[in-house]
Amino acid sequence: MVFSVMALPLPPTSGRGQGTISFASTLYLCPILDLLLSEIPPDLEPEIRLGLQEALVNAATHGNQLDTQKTIAVRFRASKDLYWWTICDQGSEPCGQCCCERINHDLPEDSSEGGRGFYILRQIFDRVEWYPHQRELHLGKCIPKLRRRADDPG
């Protein structure tokens, strides 16, 4: 299997980073996660890595059905104390009502077959917003200035 990542830098805003990464649906996410976490303070990396991995696996498996002809795009934006990731898949079917209901609930019933992914995301990120018609998941994390990377001028 051929694997490629396309990174498109965008003009910076407020001296902070932003950009877009687009890649074929895959579960080989380590290099992608490394790129997406490059702006994150080291003490928050494991937690945010888990959340982003969950979101990307969901986009590849549930959204794109692991179709390597379809892509996933991730936009990253950092401003002041808030970091945003927008994950877009190319799924052909709109999200069903049951999927959207899971976003609004806490931990699903023990007998439930799914829904734990949104629970995990809500534990890690401060903002979790799903836009089913655009097939976009927005994840926001507040990172106070005191917790930013030492080399971060923001």
96 phi and psi, to 5 degrees? -75, 165
- For the stretch 95-154, pLDDT in tens is 554 454 445 456 656 655 556 788 889 999 999 998 888 899 999 999 876 655 555 555
- For the stretch 44-94, pLDDT in tens is 999 999 999 999 999 999 899 999 999 999 999 988 788 999 999 998 765
Query: Which CATH entry fits the domain spanning 5-147: 3.40.640.10, 3.30.565.10, 3.30.450.20, 3.90.1580.10?
Result: 3.30.565.10
The type of residue at 140 is: G
d(CA 143, CA 154): 11
Domain locations in the chain as residue ranges:
5-147
**88: three-class secondary structure by DSSP:** strand
- For the stretch 10-56, pLDDT in tens is 333 334 578 999 999 999 999 999 999 988 889 999 999 999 999 99
DSSP state of 131: E
